[in-house]
Amino acid sequence: MLSIAIPSLNFCGGAEAVTLELLKHLSDNHRIRLITVDKPNWNKIRSILNYEIKIEEVYKIDYDLTEHINAINITRMIIAYNSLLDYATINMYGDLDLFIDRAKITYINGIPFSIIDEERAPIYLNSIIRRVYKHLVKPKKNNILISNSFYTRSIIKERLGLDSIVIHPPLTIDRSKLESREKEEIVLTVTRIARGKKLERVLEIAERLKDTKFVIVGRVYDYPYYYKLLEKSKQINNLTIIVNKPRDVMIEYMNKAKILLHTMDYETYGLSIIEGMIAKCIPIVPRNGGPWMDILDSKNGVYGYAYNSIDEAIKYIEAVDYSIADNAYTRAIQLSEEFYDMFRKVIDTYITYI
């Protein structure tokens, strides 16, 4: 039996979607057990991520802990996850690098918490928790580490001295839903609503491009930040902010939009960018991190555009060459399908010897 561990599926973010995709992939040929701290809320997971998998589950808390995020519950989650990892084959949350070497295989979705800066840290990792956490982390590599991008790999190698295999995340939406329809003059941003995502940039650009329609679609992870955005956006008539809706709403806008605007600096990858490219949106992303290094392959104007400033982003939006949409589509398919090939070659091969 293979045991796949993640603190909680109920966060319903990128790491959780990748875990669900892996569970689906491995369950075809292996007996699978899911290990989480809290009981999966399948109604919520189905609504947000459109997944439901019938597998054996092991959990310690009989309710959705993510509905009550605070320092106490996060501490409970970390302590419980530590004990559960004794039974894990694959740890799908290497970001929590306190336990990076606990499972036989560890997948890292982003910058590990011991080295992440305050602006980009999850809202529940307040400064006190982060200071204590950093002193506890002493990672040793005695397992297989997998990073979600070459950018993530470079940071982990530089800051923690640990090398890893790169396997880009899979597409977590049925590709047939991302159809290339008649496009509208919409600039779309798909994101978590949280500090560090730099969504003020969308507002600033929308204010300057008053004849262009801008739409932000996402789930709220940081309500104080969200309310600030709403207040600032009241005078911007060409901007719509849509939050906490089923995934089909995001897919609908991806199929309509011509441009996908990404605003977070030093993102480790950016799965929503890949999804947008498959829907034939042209990505316009910061010239740093995984979106630039991995997704655009450090090439400007081939699969999309990368900007260093607001002025440069505006220039690309105004003069976007939509003929590169097919290039973007092909690149996204290549990166998203790589996950399955690499897992078969790297992980499935290793599992036969466990």
Q: Is residue 349 in some structural domain? A: no
Cα–Cα distances in angstroms (integers) from residue 232 to residues 204, 314, 337, in the given order: 10, 20, 40
pLDDT of residue 319: 96
pLDDT of residue 135: 62
- Tell me the CATH number at 10: 3.40.50
Q: Is residue 348 in some structural domain? A: no
Residues 158 and 217 in one domain: no
pLDDT above 90 (res 270): yes
- Among residues 135, 166, 197, which one ends one of the domains? 166
| Closest by CA position to 113, among listed 136, 90, 82, 91 | 136
Residues 200 and 140 in one domain: no
Residues 6+ apart with CB under 8 A from 269: 14, 110, 148, 149, 151, 152, 168, 169, 290, 291, 294, 295
State the CB neighbour count (10 A cutoff) for residue 15: 24
How many domains is the chain partitioned into structurally? 2
Residues 18 and 85 in one domain: yes
Assign 178 to helix, strand or coil: coil
Tokens 């599992």, located at residue: 351
Assign 306 to helix, strand or coil: strand
8 A C-beta contact, residue 10 and residue 62:
no
Range of the domain at 18: 2-166
Residues 198 and 272 in one domain: yes
pLDDT of residue 139: 62
8 A C-beta contact, residue 105 and residue 350:
yes
Please state the pTM of the whole predicted model: 0.91
Residues 146 and 51 in one domain: yes
Residues 179 and 162 in one domain: no
Q: Is residue 87 in some structural domain? A: yes
Residues 190 and 133 in one domain: no
Residues 161 and 273 in one domain: no
Q: Is residue 214 in some structural domain? A: yes
pLDDT above 80 (res 33): yes
How many contiguous H segments (helices) and E segments (strands) does the chain have?
Answer: 13, 13
pLDDT, tens digit, for every residue of 119-144? 666 655 656 566 666 666 666 666 88
- Among residues 140, 166, 192, which one ends one of the domains? 166
Residues 105 and 218 in one domain: no
- Tell me the CATH number at 248: 3.40.50.2000
Residues 184 and 329 in one domain: yes
Q: Is residue 350 in some structural domain? A: no
Q: Is residue 23 in some structural domain? A: yes
pLDDT, tens digit, for every residue of 142-198? 688 999 999 999 999 999 899 999 999 988 888 888 876 789 999 999 999 998 899
Q: Is residue 354 in some structural domain? A: no
Q: Is residue 347 in some structural domain? A: no
Lowest-confidence range among 75-79, 87-91, 140-144? Answer: 140-144
- Among residues 125, 144, 166, which one ends one of the domains? 166
Residues 179 and 328 in one domain: yes
Residues 59 and 83 in one domain: yes
Q: How much is the CA Rg of the chain, to the nearest whole Å?
A: 20
pLDDT, tens digit, for every residue of 219-236? 998 899 999 999 999 999
